[in-house]
């Protein structure tokens, strides 16, 4: 395969795998699967798999749950494999260069999810203006941004070489990367806050309190809390049904006490 | 199961064909969290995916916008599990139209938490840990078999996720048929379960940590573990959640402003050393 | 306490004499779990023991059979503690006859769980551990004193167990007198306590364990501790309990069939290595 | 004491002690107490107590709760003492031969409890046919089976000798004994399932869920769960009473709203 | 400073600091703060602070919560500093003599709190007799007693010398001091028992049961329990309001079902 | 904030001036636990402190005595936190007079537990641990700076405690104004929270421990950890609490007698070795 084609394919690979993993999840974005493809492209499957396997075992248990940002081991793998194939760098070097690129991606991830916020607002604006096509189209910016997240470092690495990465890393002060990581840990609270405004939070604040105590103090996992929540929900349902039946019965008997029920719901 | 039966899984003739429904969920599965934002998270993804089928359900512009607005709201769960929920809500909207709005929202908000708990554990933690340890070990020996197997399993999973959507869709119809007017009581009850999980999320998903220490001579006291955790575990996340909830309730504060505020606080915190990343 | 008082512990003149009552409980204490079966456990033991006094309470054949059928049902608790319950139910049946049927069943089913918890701990765990460590240590030195003391204590316990029955009998009468028509509310409430304990029993008494592991090279993943326990502790027991409960609700499935099914599953599981005995 | 009488008594001992322990519990079936009697029979109290003490300390904490099957240390003790007295075997040998016999008994225990099931059904059948005497008599089969459980190995040991035990053990494949042990762990679920059908399980399913979470996740002991259950029961009782009082009051006032209450109870 | 003035001031210091700590808490009664003042009085700040610091670090985490009695490290500190200044005793000796005095104070503390009981009754008696001034005045006995607790050992030490302390300690048998310590641990139950009689304990006994299980079995700290209690309180409040609203609505409609509500409250 | 505003924090003109109110709380802060007794604990302290302002609120002797009796009852919490509660109850009494009696008592009894939990942790555990470790370390090097700083912090705290009283006073007025007739429901609800904490107090504050052991040869069994704790943790405290509660409910038993009983039991327990001090 000519170098140019290899470069092109390797450039596209992480961007595609990222979108795949965040969507259909068929190739996914774990080191071994993207490493497999990178090995096919670069023509040295053995080296590719060794580098990928190293990153894979490094990343066991890493999961970006609830919108959290995690190191981009897929990108790290591809960078490592590319460098090994092009510069003949040993596996140690390949891993050492790939890793900081993967870590850098955490910052980008936070920035993109912040930027996506504006897309979401724009889309809703279009909806209100009844420009439904635009509403749909603007959403493509999200995937585009995510593409850029992996595309840009790959372009730099392919054109300027690995030394560029450390140069970029040195420019950004530590407190900025740290600050973005902290923000990434805190920001899921916004979604939770929104959610609480859509739900009958004030009426059932006791459910939040109980869930919090069981999780924070007693370390009950979320699924265990959910079962307790289900137990409470069943009681609420039964009581609601009993009240409704009673109201119906009362109506049937000609006594209209509909107000009372409403009062309770306030 | 005969082909015909598959195509008409419900008694009430739906507005949508099976193909239209599947095209909607495929759109959602493609977008997934690719346009994830901190405010409404997967909300826009759902809108983008279902905009076409909803258009068909709501020919009137006003109702359509109302339905879209409903889905623009905060939504987040494991995408595989979302398929069940979105199957059910689609069935509800198809049957009851805009009247189902509150029930749809309620079902989404109350189920997404518990579903994320079980879904994330299986899809994002257990499955990759198993496959990753097997395939990773093979890979360091230069053997790609595990990686190939992983991709094949992913394909199986892809098929299963579509089945989950169908399951949700069929259950959804059953749900509204059997519950009838009791739907509002049902959704209120599920909200209770959802809110219980919200309490857990505040304690586990939101991370706020201060690396500050009092130090003098050989005596050192970490503010986080020595004071805050002793008052109450997850004290700072709880305070931040309360603050954010309150701010979001104020006219003058939009979610965007809140997000910016958090970013600024994080940067200032990192700069001054008041906030830090919790060591694992 | 005077002799007379002992012989008439209740105001209402009972159908049974004190001697008849004691003969019934002595029968139960003799049979104990000597005809224990997996389906109704101590049920037949209770029937066998009380068949004579019940005959006296229910002279009519139909009522007698009804009462017997009631006691044929599942019953299991520490036998010492059972005496309290059986004392109470005997008092109830003596006073209200077949009308007390549901209350009797309800009292039995709801109290047996909590009573087993405390009773087993004391009678089967703590007492033998204390006596066993003392007497065992003496024995290895050739000294039988501890063993003799143990038998003496057992005699004391035997006497105490008869007192527990009397206690239950007297309380039972008091209970129905003071509760009156509220008895059904009372038994419903105790059922709630019983069901809470049933949830615990599923998690602790039922044991289902798989020794399966995924292994490849140096990576080894135990299905039980690595996957099932992470989804939910006692997941398999919960599933088995749900399955058994559902099967038992079906007309086509008798308890006997369910028991056979479990034995077959266990044997097949042991043969294939899918199931195993949990290492302590 | 003539050998024949010793043999006879030692044959009866475990069978009696088992029934005693499962019923009146006066001699009970722990190593030291049955060892005491075995020592009296065999005429060598010192050796008997040493063997019994060894098994006793081995069995500390072993308890067959909820119908579970446990090793039969009482039988093991008697076998050991008998062999030591007859063959002059050392204490080590006596323990080594006794133990597998005690373990084998687990399997028998499971089989008997399965067999007893048929007795229970038969007895209830007789009750329906109003053959009350038969109903009572058939229950003696239970104790009889349990007697056999210890009787049969004792007969073999006394007549054929200890080597027979290992022969029998070798005939039964491992998976069968294992399978029966597994079944013994699982079978208590049948009783629980029956129980759930007698109780208002559907109405109060939340109580089961809560009990399960507290026990499975938080390792709360059964007595702690029972206290929480009691707390819930008190609430249910108070609410039930309030409703009943209200209904009575309503009836007294001539307003008949009896239906509503019933609806709730369904 | 003349010795007599020093003696006088050092005599007053622990008594004042104790009352301060139990009231306004400005000087407080921790080793370092009373040690600071003792150092000023005795004129050797360095030695004073070293002794105080030693006791301070010894007392970390000691807190007399819920009326519990704890060692009197403040008194121990002052005794140590005084002896060091007067007798030139080394720091080790000063600490060794001060500590038993501080421990002895636990017993006195229990006795005073028992004695205060009689003051409380007397005061209430005066209130009923409408002798309000006496009611107020008698309360001064409490602080007076507490003053004595530290005053008496200080007087002995200053007049007779440290050997007196051990003499006194040897006179009191071990079981008396032990018994008082045990009583100190148990006596807070009286307050709790009183409290339960003022509260709707019977009606809400389930709340006590639940609080107990969470604290005793699951080791949930009091604040966590309080949050769960708050959750329950919110539910009770909502149900109470719903019932009240319903009753009002019913009254408005002319149906008087006031009895039912009352029934429930019993 | 202007001076004027500070002086009239409520709309309803109060009976008491700001100065009178502050003098009352300063009296309480001075007495604190200086007349603490085991029966009513801080009760007499509150009476002593508020006797003058209450006199002004209740000019009628009978009402005054009634109000005093109310405050003579058991009260105990962290003194700093008590300020909030006493601020609120003063506001209630000022506004509603003797009618507020039950509400006042209820507020005190239900809030004191939770407030003690958080207050003791911060005021008596965390703050002295931090200051003590810093100042203690400086002191052993002969440096009094930490001790001086501690006193300064105490002054700050003193000021803050007065502010807490003001906060309670103002909230108290708001509370009664907004709740109106619902106050009784509110106080009943807070009682539930209080009782939950009472359950915790029994398990943690009350200490009853037996050092008894069974011992024979090398086998040793501690009654406390080997038996009692296995039946139920905090079993003895629970039994003692139940016993004391029952005794206090009897006409023939005064709190004083109960206290004497406990002292006697403790002394006898210590003498015989049945009771002991729990090793840390
Ligand atoms: O936690 C639920 C869900 O949150 C976000 O959407 C992403 O992190 C997903 O990967 C995750 O499944
Ligand atoms: O667990 C209750 C009860 O279950 C079965 O009946 C037997 O195992 C008894 O020994 C035990 O006490
Ligand atoms: O626990 C509340 C309270 O109890 C008593 O009054 C004293 O021990 C105080 O120091 C403590 O704050």
CA triplet F248, F253, F258: central angle to 5 degrees? 70
Helix (H) or strand (E) holding C220: strand C219-222
Chain C nearest-CA residue for B140: C217
The verdict on residue D193 lying in a domain is no
**pLDDT given for residue A209 in this prediction:** 95
Which among A143, A169, A188 is the end of a domain? A188
Q: Report how far residue B182's alpha carbon sits from residue C108's, in angstroms, rounded to the nearest whole number.
A: 36
**pLDDT given for residue C3 in this prediction:** 40
The verdict on residue A50 lying in a domain is yes
The atom number, within ligand 3, closest to the CA of F119 reads 12
Q: D171 in helix, strand or coil?
A: helix
Percent of chain A residues topping a pLDDT of 70: 91
Place of tokens 């044959």: D11
F125 touches B: beta carbon within 8 Å: yes
User: B37 phi and psi, to 5 degrees?
Assistant: -130, 160
The verdict on residue D194 lying in a domain is no
What tokens does F229 get? 């704790």
Residues in the ligand 2 pocket, defined by CB under 6 Å: C 33, 41-42, 76-78, 116, 120, 124; D 64-67
Q: Report how far residue F226's alpha carbon sits from residue F214's, in angstroms, rounded to the nearest whole number.
A: 10
**C116-126: pLDDT as tens digits:** 877 887 888 77
B230-234, B236-240, C49-53: the lowest-pLDDT one: B230-234
Q: Are residues E181 and E223 in the same domain?
A: no
Q: How confident is the model at residue A169 (pLDDT cuts 50, 70, 90)?
A: low
pLDDT per residue, tens digit, chain F (280 aa), is 344 344 334 334 568 999 999 999 999 999 999 999 999 999 999 999 999 999 999 999 999 999 999 999 999 999 999 999 999 999 999 998 999 998 899 889 888 888 887 788 788 877 887 788 778 888 988 889 889 999 999 999 999 999 999 999 998 777 766 766 676 787 788 888 888 888 998 998 889 999 998 765 566 778 898 788 888 899 999 999 999 999 999 989 877 788 889 989 999 999 999 999 888 6
Q: Ligand 3 centre and the CA of F79: distance in Å?
A: 7
Check residues D98 and B129 and name the one with the higher pLDDT: D98
Q: Are residues E79 and E156 in the same domain?
A: yes
Task: Share the mean pLDDT of chain B.
Answer: 86
Q: Ligand 1 centre and the CA of B70: distance in Å?
A: 20
Q: Report how far residue F116's alpha carbon sits from residue E225's, in angstroms, rounded to the nearest whole number.
A: 12
Q: Report how far residue C259's alpha carbon sits from residue C53's, in angstroms, rounded to the nearest whole number.
A: 32
The verdict on residue E40 lying in a domain is yes
The atom number, within ligand 2, closest to the CA of D68 reads 8
Mean pLDDT of D70-91: 88
Q: Are residues E155 and E260 in the same domain?
A: no
Q: How confident is the model at residue D133 (pLDDT cuts 50, 70, 90)?
A: very high
Mean pLDDT of A102-110: 85
Is pTM beyond 0.90 here? no
Q: How confident is the model at residue B186 (pLDDT cuts 50, 70, 90)?
A: confident
Residue nearest to atom 10 of ligand 2 (CA): D65
Nearest to A57 by CA among A27, A79, A35, A41: A35
**pLDDT given for residue E265 in this prediction:** 31
- Long-range pairs for B55-59: beta carbons < 8 A, 24 or more residues apart: B55/A132, B56/B15, B56/B16, B56/B20, B57/B15, B57/B16, B57/B93, B57/B94, B57/B97, B58/B97, B58/B98
Q: Report how far residue D250's alpha carbon sits from residue D258's, in angstroms, rounded to the nearest whole number.
A: 9
Q: F216 in helix, strand or coil?
A: strand
What tokens does E71 get? 């060692």
Minimal C-alpha gap between A257 and chain D (Å): 13
What tokens does B165 get? 């959507």
Which among E146, E166, E188 is the end of a domain? E188
What tokens does B26 get? 């495929």
Please tell me which of the candidates B217, B219, B227 has its beta carbon nearest to residue F126.
B227
Check residues D94 and D240 and name the one with the higher pLDDT: D240
F192 touches E: beta carbon within 8 Å: yes
The verdict on residue A223 lying in a domain is yes
Q: Is the pLDDT of residue A245 over 70?
A: yes
D253 interaction partners in chain E (CB closer than 8 Å): 257
Q: How confident is the model at residue D246 (pLDDT cuts 50, 70, 90)?
A: confident
Q: Are residues A232 and A142 in the same domain?
A: no
| Alpha helices by DSSP H, E23-173 | 31-42, 45-58, 73-87, 91-128, 132-138, 141-159, 163-171
Q: Report how far residue F271's alpha carbon sits from residue F280's, in angstroms, rounded to the nearest whole number.
A: 21
E224 touches B: beta carbon within 8 Å: yes
**B102-114: pLDDT as tens digits:** 889 988 988 888 8
User: What is the number of alpha carbons within 13 Å of residue B82 lying toward its C-beta?
Assistant: 26
* Total number of domains in chain A: 2
Q: C37 in helix, strand or coil?
A: strand
Q: How confident is the model at residue A168 (pLDDT cuts 50, 70, 90)?
A: low
| Alpha helices by DSSP H, D59-90 | 73-87
Residues of chain C under the 50 pLDDT cut: 1-12
Nearest to D69 by CA among C254, C269, C205, C233: C205
Mean pLDDT of D74-81: 93
The atom number, within ligand 2, closest to the CA of C119 reads 12
**D58-69: pLDDT as tens digits:** 787 677 777 888
Q: Are residues E244 and E181 in the same domain?
A: no
Q: Are residues A148 and A243 in the same domain?
A: no
Q: B215 in helix, strand or coil?
A: strand
Residues 6+ apart with CB under 8 A from A210: A228, A232, B196, B199, E228, E231
D224 touches F: beta carbon within 8 Å: yes
Q: Are residues D111 and D157 in the same domain?
A: yes
Nearest to C276 by CA among C225, C209, C229, C184: C209
Nearest to D161 by CA among D233, D86, D240: D86
Subunits with 3+ C-beta pairs closer than 8 A to C: A, B, D, F
Residues 6+ apart with CB under 8 A from F20: F52, F53, F56
Q: Choose one of E62, E65, E226 to mutate for the ligand 3 pocket test, by most ligand atoms within 8 angstroms of C-beta.
A: E65
**pLDDT given for residue E164 in this prediction:** 67
Q: Is the pLDDT of residue D24 over 60?
A: yes
Provide the residue range defining the domain that includes A222: 199-266
Helix (H) or strand (E) holding F214: strand F213-216
**C77-87: pLDDT as tens digits:** 999 999 999 99
Q: Are residues D148 and D214 in the same domain?
A: no
Q: Domain boundaries in chain B?
A: 18-201, 210-272
The maximal CA–CA distance of chain E, rounded, in angstroms, is 90
**Alpha carbon distances (Å) from E205 to C93, D226, E191, F235:** 31, 15, 17, 17
Q: Are residues E184 and E203 in the same domain?
A: no
Could you tell me how many residues make up chain F?
280
**pLDDT given for residue E113 in this prediction:** 93
Q: Report how far residue A37's alpha carbon sits from residue A44's, in angstroms, rounded to the nearest whole number.
A: 11
For residues F244 and E262, the answer to whether their CB atoms sit within 8 Å is: no
Which among D120, D153, D188 is the end of a domain? D188
**pLDDT given for residue C68 in this prediction:** 96
B42-51, D196-205, E212-221: the lowest-pLDDT one: D196-205
Stretch 101-120 of chain E: residues touching chain B, C-beta under 8 Å: none
Contact across the interface for F231 and C121, Cβ inside 8 Å: yes
Q: Ligand 2 centre and the CA of C78: distance in Å?
A: 5
Q: Are residues A11 and A92 in the same domain?
A: yes
F128 touches B: beta carbon within 8 Å: no
Subunits with 3+ C-beta pairs closer than 8 A to E: A, B, D, F
A188 pocket-lining for ligand 1 (C-beta < 6 Å): no
The verdict on residue D231 lying in a domain is yes
A67 pocket-lining for ligand 1 (C-beta < 6 Å): yes
**pLDDT given for residue F216 in this prediction:** 59
Range with the largest mean pLDDT of B193-202, B224-233, D16-25, F134-143: D16-25
- Other CB atoms within a 10 A radius of the CB of residue C263 amount to 21
Helices (H) and strands (E) in chain E, counts: 13, 0
Residue nearest to atom 4 of ligand 2 (CA): D66
For residues A138 and A121, the answer to whether their CB atoms sit within 8 Å is: no
E–D contact: 3+ Cβ pairs < 8 A = yes
**pLDDT given for residue F120 in this prediction:** 83
CA triplet F201, A206, D196: central angle to 5 degrees? 85
For residues D64 and D18, the answer to whether their CB atoms sit within 8 Å is: no
* Burial group, residue A235, by CB count within 10 angstroms (0-12, 13-18, 19+): middle
Q: Are residues E153 and E242 in the same domain?
A: no
Mean pLDDT of B64-71: 96
Q: B49 in helix, strand or coil?
A: helix
Q: Report how far residue D62's alpha carbon sits from residue B199's, in angstroms, rounded to the nearest whole number.
A: 42
Q: How confident is the model at residue A166 (pLDDT cuts 50, 70, 90)?
A: low
Q: Are residues E204 and E240 in the same domain?
A: yes
Q: Is the pLDDT of residue A164 over 90?
A: no
Residues of chain E under the 50 pLDDT cut: 256-266
Minimal C-alpha gap between F240 and chain C (Å): 20
Residues 6+ apart with CB under 8 A from B139: A31, A32, A35, A49, A50, A52, A53, A56, B146, B147
D202 touches A: beta carbon within 8 Å: no
């Amino acid at each position: 395969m000519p170098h140019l084609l290899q470069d092109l394919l390797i450039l596209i690979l992480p961007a595609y795998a990222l979108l795949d993993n965040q969507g259909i999840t068929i190739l996914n974005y774990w080191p071994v699967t993207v490493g497999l493809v990178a090995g096919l492209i670069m023509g040295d499957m053995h080296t590719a798999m060794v580098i990928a396997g190293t990153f894979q075992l490094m990343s066991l248990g890493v999961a970006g749950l609830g919108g959290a940002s995690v190191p981009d081991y897929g990108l790290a793998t591809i960078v490592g494999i590319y460098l090994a194939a092009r510069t003949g760098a040993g596996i140690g070097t390949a891993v050492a260069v790939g890793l900081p690129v993967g870590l850098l991606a955490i910052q980008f991830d936070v920035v993109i999810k912040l930027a996506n916020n504006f897309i979401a607002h724009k889309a809703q604006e279009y909806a209100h203006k009844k420009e439904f096509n635009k509403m749909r189209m603007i959403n493509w910016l999200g995937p585009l941004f995510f593409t850029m997240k992996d595309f840009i470092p790959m372009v730099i690495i392919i054109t300027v070489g690995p030394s560029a990465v450390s140069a970029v890393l040195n420019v950004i002060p530590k407190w900025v990367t740290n600050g973005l990581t902290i923000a990434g840990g805190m920001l899921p609270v916004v979604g939770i806050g929104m959610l609480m405004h859509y739900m009958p939070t004030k009426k059932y604040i006791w459910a939040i309190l109980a869930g919090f105590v069981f999780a924070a103090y007693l370390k009950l996992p979320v699924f265990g809390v959910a079962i307790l929540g289900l137990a409470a929900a069943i009681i609420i349902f039964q009581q609601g049904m009993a009240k409704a039946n009673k109201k119906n019965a009362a109506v049937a008997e000609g006594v209209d006490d509909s107000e009372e029920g409403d009062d309770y719901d306030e | 199961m005969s082909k015909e039966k598959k195509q008409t899984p419900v008694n009430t003739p739906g507005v949508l064909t099976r193909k239209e429904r599947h095209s909607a969920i495929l759109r959602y599965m493609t977008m997934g969290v690719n346009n994830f934002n901190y405010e409404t998270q997967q909300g826009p993804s759902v809108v983008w995916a279902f905009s076409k089928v909803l258009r068909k359900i709501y020919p009137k512009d006003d109702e359509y916008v109302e339905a879209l607005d409903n889905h623009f709201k905060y939504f987040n769960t494991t995408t595989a599990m979302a398929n069940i929920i979105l199957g059910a809500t689609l069935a509800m909207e198809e049957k009851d139209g805009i009247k189902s709005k509150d029930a749809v929202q309620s079902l989404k908000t109350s189920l997404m938490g518990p579903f994320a708990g079980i879904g994330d554990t299986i899809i994002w933690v257990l499955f990759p840990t198993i496959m990753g340890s097997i395939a990773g070990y093979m890979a360091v020996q230069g053997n790609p078999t595990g990686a190939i197997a992983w991709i094949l399993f992913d394909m199986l999973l892809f098929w299963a996720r579509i089945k989950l959507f169908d399951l949700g869709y069929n259950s959804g119809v059953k749900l509204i048929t059997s519950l009838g007017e009791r739907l509002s009581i049902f959704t209120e009850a599920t909200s209770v379960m959802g809110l219980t999980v919200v309490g857990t999320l505040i304690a586990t998903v939101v991370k706020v940590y201060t690396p500050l220490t009092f130090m003098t001579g050989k005596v050192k006291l970490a503010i986080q573990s020595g004071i805050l955790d002793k008052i109450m575990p997850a004290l700072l996340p709880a305070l931040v959640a309360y603050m954010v909830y309150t701010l979001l309730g104020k006219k003058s504060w939009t979610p965007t402003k809140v997000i910016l505020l958090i970013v600024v606080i994080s940067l200032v915190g990192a700069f001054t050393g008041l906030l830090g990343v919790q060591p694992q």
